[in-house]
Every structure is written in structure tokens, then in C-alpha cells.
Structure 1
Amino acid sequence: MANKYSKQIEDTIEKNKQKYIDHLLKLVSIDTHDIGHGIEGGLEGNGQEYLIQVFEEMHADEIQKDPLTEEAIVKCNELYNEGNIGHNYENRFNVYATINGKSKKSILFNGHIDHMPADNLEHWKIDPLKPEVIGDKITGLGVADMKAGLMAGIMASMVLQDAGIEFPVTVKYATVCDEEGGGNGSLCAAMNGVKADAVVVCEPTNYELIVAHMGWVFFQVEVSGIAVHSGLKLAGVNAIEKAGILMEAIDRLEHKWLLKYKHPLLPPPSSNVGVIYGGEAGSTIPDYCCFKTCVHYLPNLMSREQVIKEYTDAIYERCQGDSWLKEHMPKITTYQQGNPFEMELDHPFVGAFKNAYTDALGKEVKLVGSPAGCDSRTWHNIVKCPTVQYGPGSLEQCHAVNEFVTVDQYLDAIKIYANLIIEWANEE
């Protein structure tokens, strides 16, 4: 049975939907992209200032700027093996807002305001920073990943205000930077004491509720050789060919993991070679080759330390079977990482979300896992908050040309979030 406010929420969204869409269009029009995966910086500042204006218009009881700092990330890395060190934080700050409710019981909506820069501009139908509603789609850079989710969470509170519904619980917001660089924004929030009784990470989930995601580690492997003219090939050592031998070794490790580890909600662990470079000309034996990989691994069944050890062991053991590599071991480093996440399915917050979804859409939500990691791990693993992941859009639209969410996905997310605020108050 739907809660007593669900029809009022639905009617209010229908009446004011253009206002809620316009807020999203405005946010998407502001360039907030990361530079070099956040290592070189980010342009989130203007977008955060706009959200402060929105919170001020909503008469939020508390609004706070929180600059990202290297100190917080170093501490997080030491304590939790999380955080990506060495990023540029100039004019990069989180924004936290609180709207007090009848109860001190709280719910927090989390989203990242940064997005990847636009690629393949010639294939975009529109200027990526001039978002448009085209048919049933809201198209623009960063709209799926994840400005629609971030704004939908904020608009859920605006809906309650527009409907004249008293907030039954305290609603909090953490809009963060540098997620695309590995999640440093939410990690800073965690280290600075931001918390709530429950958290929704508003990443796109395509009408499904994500309750688990995989962990990841990025590796860089550098291989040396001896450069000579290609006509003297036997006098040289081809670093690209030696790198290929090592790629075969990690493929065998991936196959071993595939047979050993199973998870009911997630795909098997995997390793992907995403970048390879080396050599200068077809007529020269290359004396250097570097390849970069990403490993995704499973929660509770595998650990970051285990993955790093087994990965490096597989490479070094293969080197023992090659006379050159045995004496010239490759250099292996990691440069980004994030732990996996898995929510307890019997927690009351999961039940509250299920009820809110049914209140809003009249059907049951499907619980799934995600191969892509996100900030859910931070709120669940470090802050120790019950956490779920739900938002408008789909993973396929993240970082895509002509990125979009449908109008219905966006408005339905607002409806679900508003009902969730009510249901969380009702959940014992």
C-alpha cells in the first residue's frame, strides 16, 4: 500500500516538471570536467556555486563548502587503502547541505558533479554544454554520469517543499568533486566526518537498485629491451614482444579467477589491457613498452592485497621462463584503485527503498550488482552507513557521445527519492 503522500508527490512533479528539468539543464550547461582524471585538476567550482544557489533558494538550514585536501587523501590511504594521491585540488571543493526534518533520523543523497571531458565532438548532435530536450531524451555532457541523479536527489526535497509536505526526517546532501579520478571527493567527505543514518548514491542504474559493485585496481607494466635497426633484429630485444608474453600470463590468471570465483549479483573478476605504447618506427626494434590494465574483483571473496599479489606474481613467475625478462624484470606500479561494496539485503533501508519504488512506479524493483565501482564503497565501507545506489540513466550512457537520460527516468527518480524520504521515516 502506497504511503499517504505518494499521490501528492506525483501531482506536484507533474505540475512543476518543467522547473525541475530546467534546473538540470542549467547544471549540465556548466562545464565541470576533470582534467587528466583529476590528477591535473578539475573545473567543478562553478557547478558547485550553482548548487549552493539552489540550496539557498530552498532555504537549506546548513550549507558548507569543504575544500579537497591532499592531507585527507593521504590519511584515508593509510587507514583504508583508499584514495588517489597527487591530484591538483585548486578551486575544487565539496558542498554539503542539510534540511532539518521533524526527526533527527537522516538520509543523505550523494552525487559527483565532475564528469569526463567531451570526446569525438564531430559525432555530437548538439554542443555538449548546451543541453537540450530532444524528444523524450535530455541530452548533454555529464547528464547521465551523473548530473541527472545529483539534481534528482536535490529536486526530491524541492518537491516536498512545493507540495507543502513537512520533512519527516533530516535530509542531507554531499555533492562531491573528483569522482572520475577515483572517488577522492567522497573520501574527503568521509574523512571530514560527513555521515547519515542512510545514504543513496545517485549514480545511473537504469531502474534497477544496485546493492553491490566490484573493486578495481589499475596497473602499469613497463618492459625494457634493446633497440637496434630492424635489419639486425637478432642483436636486439623487442620490448613489445616481451610485453606480449606478460599479457598472456595475466590472461591465464584471469581464466583461473573465472573458474574459482562466483558471485550471485556480479560478473566474474576480469583484467583488461586498455593502453599499450612503445616503439618509434617499424625499422627499429623497440627498447621500451608500457601497457596499462584494469582489474575488477569481487567483494567479500577477494581483496585488494590479494589481487595485487597474484597479479604481480603471475607476471614475475612468467619472467622466470624467459632469459631476457628473468634478468630485466618489468616495473609494475598501481596508479588508481577502489575497494568493492556489498550492502546487506535484509537491512531496513533496503526495505524502505523497495517500498518507495513501489509507491512511485507501482512495481517491484530488481536488485542487482554493478561491474563499475563508485562512491557507494566509501559510504558503506568507511563511513559505515547503510548504502544503496540508484539513479536515472544507464551505465551504457556514461562517457558516451550524445549522452542522455530520458525525461521519464529523471522525473521518476525524483518521485522515488521523495517517496524514499517518507518511507525512511516510516521504517522502524
Structure 2
Amino acid sequence: MEISEKLRKLLEEKREEYLKPLMELVAIDTQDLGHGIAGGREKEGQEYFARLLQEIGADEIERDPMTEEAIQRCLKEYEEGNPGHNYEDRYNVYATFKGADTEKTLMFNGHMDTMPPGDLSKWDNPPHKPTIIDGKLYGLGSTDMKSGLLGGAMAVKLLKQAGIELPCNVKITSVCDEEGGGNGSMQAIMSGQKADAVVVCECSNRELIAAHMGFVFFKVEVEGKSNHSGEKWAGVSAIEKILKIIRALEELEHEWLLRYKHPLLPAPNLNIGTIHGGTAGSTVAGECYFETCIHYLPVIMSYQKIYDAFTETVEAVAKSDPWLREHMPKITMYQCGGAFEQETTDPFVSAFQKAYSRVEGHEAKIVGSPGGCDSRLWKNIAGAKVLQYGPGKLAQCHAVNEYVPVEDYFQAILVYANLILTYGKTQ
């Protein structure tokens, strides 16, 4: 019997054994609090996962406490980092399974934290009560991303149960605070975690993600002069001044749309996500601010290019306006993450396609993702070959009644197990 069919048959026989850990992990509350700034509840989930890795037979298991020092160092050296988060009782878990070729390492990376559930009244079932209906496992974190995180560990377990030796080292990294901007993987990288190739096990709709967009968040604050609207001419509306800036930024976005193209990704965009100003309809707004997120393309665009273009556009508007020239807008960049692209001609991509074909009977569609994730960190900072692949769809991330199709979870386990074999034997 071919190895891939042997693995499929074994997994089918032990479905409940492999599904149980996912149900149990989804039942544990591991949410980020305030995007990690107020802390996180990953500890119980990390302890559960560490016990599971030990049961599977990990040769090494390490708990790595999150530290502000590591994030500050990452920010200084690589322009990646979200400082000022609460790290009490928050730590990463790393496991190493040694293979025949100890000089080669394949990593499966995932995050333990989830977003908060939001309004509980909108959930059909409690978010931490895993429920299977019509082949879908409902529960907070089922897609984002406990099924993917477990998938890598379960792939190792499947190979071991099948009596198949690992051809190379396999490392599993379960990180904290990804929803806070990726600090957990930054901590791992700053602590020396590395691999030749990394699978970021975020959901991918059974497609292979080889690129994602970068992102930069800005806040722009404008001061006006407040007074009664009956004498509007005596005041200065901060809202109207903000609108001048927004119109100029829309022109900047239009320029990007015409100039920058990518074969796997949509055009860059600038989204005005919030705007706040004024106190009453009868009062000229004395202050106003807006928040925006810019998504940009890898290689042909960069964080510095975005930062410079944004600030120069805002400042140009201010310098052309008599009031703003004397009351310059305050610009704050408060979160960012780089773009990511993996060369599709790399042997790692070929090994992945071979593994995927053994499970699905055809190669995976290679796509890009508009949303950023930790792929950028393992590629741009750690220098690994990186692909994103995992169970579920992006539409289920951060969604009420989040679910993952159970078959997606099992399919990912099989793909990961075959990848260990194909990549481990790649020269």
C-alpha cells in the first residue's frame, strides 16, 4: 500500500482520537485582551498543548516567556513590533521531534490566542462549547487557528503511529499574541527559533498562500477652533480640515492603484476606518481625528515608502492651508507589519505541491492573501522558506459562529504528514 494511502486509512480509523484534542482545545478560552495590550489568556491552552506534544513523543519541549525586551529589540532591528503589551502568564511553547537528517528542520507555526467572542447573544452556541453540526465544528478559534495549530502536531503523531521515521527534524511553535500584531512569533525568532522551511498553518481555503500584503495603521489628529455654529465664520472646523486631508489621501491611493500591480495580490489600498470629531451639531468642531489602515504590496513597496508618502501627503495639505500651517496635524503610526512573498520556483513549493497532490490528486492553486500574518516574520526576519496553508476559510476568522469543516482539519493533517516526507527527502 502506498504510504499516503496508509496514512489516510489510519487517520480514518482513528478519526475520534484525532478530533478529540481539537474539541478540547476549542473549549479552552485563550483570547487576547485588547489586542494583547491588556494581556491574554493563552496559559491554559499552552499547557494543554505542551502535554499533548509530550504524549506524542517530542524530544524537546520549551516554554518561552514573552518579554517586552524582545519586542523592543525586534522593533529596533527589523521595524516589526508592538510594544507595551501585558505579558503576565503568557509564553510560547516550542517542541522538536528529531528526524533522520538532523541538519534539516521543517517547522509548523501557529498561534494559541484568539480574538474575543464579542456579543455572546449573537452566537448560536457558547463560543467555548465546541459543537459539530452538518460536518462543521463550531467554536471560537476553530478556524483561527486551533485546527491549523493542532494539524502540525497531529501530522507527526500520524507518522509515528504508522511506524514511519521522520526524515528530518520537525519543530512545532505555538505562539501567543498573534492577534496583537504578531508579537509571539517575534519573541520566538528573537529567542533563536529557526527552521529551513516554515508552514504557517493559518486557514487558506485549501489553497497555497505564497504572498500577503503588508499593513500600516495611522492616526491623524487635527486641532480646530470651537464656537457656536451661528457664527461659524469665527471658528475653524477641524472636521472640514480633516476632510481636506482625506481627499488628498484618496488621490494618493488612486496613484497607487494605477502604478502598482502584483500577480497574486489585489492593488494597494488606503482605508479610512474611523473618524471622530465635534461635540454637537450646533458647535464648530474644535478637534477631529481619523484612523486608517494601508495595505501594500511586497518587494515593489515597503514600510518606509508608505510612511514617507503618507506623512508627506498630510504635511503638504497642512502647509497649503493657513490654519493648519500654524496648527500642524499630529500623525501617529501605531501598528505595522511587513509584506510577504515566497518565490514559487523554490524546491519547498515543489515539495508542498507533491504532498498536496498525494492527498488531493492535483496540485494546489497558488494564491496571495490580502490579510497579513506571521508568514512575513519567518520569511523576512528568520530567513526561512515560508508558505501559508491550513484548514478553514478567511471568512470564518473573527466571525460570530466561527466554524471549521471537520474534513478540512483531517485533510490538513494528511497534507502536513505527506509534506514532512516529501520535504524531508528533498535535496
Task: Tell me if both proteins adopt one fold, taking TM over 0.5 as the criterion.
Answer: yes
Quote the offset at 1:119 in angstroms.
1.6
Quote the offset at 1:285 in angstroms.
2.0
For 1:300-330, what per-residue CA distance to the aligned partner results, in whole angstroms no more than 9, with x for missing partners? Answer: 1011111000011111111233222222111
Aligned counterpart for 1:25 among listed residues 23, 26, 38: 23
Matches within 5 A, 1:367-386: 367-386=366-385
The answer as to 2:47 corresponding to 1:60 is no
For residues 93 and 293 of structure 1, the distance between their equivalents in structure 2, rounded to whole angstroms, comes to 31
The residue aligned with 1:123 is 122
The answer as to 2:347 corresponding to 1:355 is no
Gaps of 5+ in 2: none
The residue aligned with 1:94 is 92
The answer as to 2:414 corresponding to 1:415 is yes
The residue aligned with 1:7 is 5
For residues 122 and 272 of structure 2, the distance between their equivalents in structure 1, rounded to whole angstroms, comes to 26
For 1:95-130, what per-residue CA distance to the aligned partner results, in whole angstroms no more than 9, with x for missing partners? Answer: 000111122122110001111101232221110111
The residue aligned with 1:16 is 14
Quote the offset at 1:231 in angstroms.
2.5
SS across alignment from 2:101: coil
The residue aligned with 1:209 is 208
For 1:146-188, what per-residue CA distance to the aligned partner results, in whole angstroms no more than 9, with x for missing partners? Answer: 1111111111111112222222221111100111111111011
The answer as to 2:247 corresponding to 1:253 is no
The residue aligned with 1:149 is 148
The residue aligned with 1:111 is 110
SS across alignment from 2:248: helix
The residue aligned with 2:405 is 406
For residues 41 and 330 of structure 1, the distance between their equivalents in structure 2, rounded to whole angstroms, comes to 31
Quote the offset at 1:230 in angstroms.
2.5
The residue aligned with 2:235 is 236
For residues 355 and 396 of structure 1, the distance between their equivalents in structure 2, rounded to whole angstroms, comes to 27
For residues 119 and 235 of structure 2, the distance between their equivalents in structure 1, rounded to whole angstroms, comes to 39
The residue aligned with 1:188 is 187
The residue aligned with 1:365 is 364
Stretch of structure 1 that moved more, 207-216 or 223-232:
223-232
Gaps of 5+ in 1: none
For residues 324 and 339 of structure 1, the distance between their equivalents in structure 2, rounded to whole angstroms, comes to 35
Matches within 5 A, 1:169-318: 169-318=168-317
For residues 114 and 239 of structure 1, the distance between their equivalents in structure 2, rounded to whole angstroms, comes to 39
SS across alignment from 1:427: coil
Query: Number of matched residues?
Result: 426
- What is the RMSD of the two structures over their aligned residues, measured on CA atoms? 1.2
Quote the offset at 1:233 in angstroms.
2.1
Q: Report the TM-score, using the length of structure 1 for normalisation.
A: 0.97
Counterpart code for 2:68:
E
The residue aligned with 2:426 is 427
For residues 110 and 256 of structure 2, the distance between their equivalents in structure 1, rounded to whole angstroms, comes to 32
The residue aligned with 2:394 is 395
For 1:375-428, what per-residue CA distance to the aligned partner results, in whole angstroms no more than 9, with x for missing partners? Answer: 111111111111111001111111011111111111100110011011112212
SS across alignment from 2:352: helix
Aligned counterpart for 1:72 among listed residues 57, 70, 73: 70
For residues 41 and 275 of structure 2, the distance between their equivalents in structure 1, rounded to whole angstroms, comes to 29
The residue aligned with 2:80 is 82
SS across alignment from 2:206: coil
For residues 251 and 189 of structure 2, the distance between their equivalents in structure 1, rounded to whole angstroms, comes to 38
For residues 354 and 256 of structure 1, the distance between their equivalents in structure 2, rounded to whole angstroms, comes to 37
- Residue identity over aligned pairs, in percent, reads 54
For residues 202 and 11 of structure 2, the distance between their equivalents in structure 1, rounded to whole angstroms, comes to 21
For 1:55-100, what per-residue CA distance to the aligned partner results, in whole angstroms no more than 9, with x for missing partners? Answer: 1111211000001111111111111111111111111100000111
For residues 139 and 233 of structure 1, the distance between their equivalents in structure 2, rounded to whole angstroms, comes to 54
Quote the offset at 1:196 in angstroms.
1.2
For residues 147 and 225 of structure 2, the distance between their equivalents in structure 1, rounded to whole angstroms, comes to 52
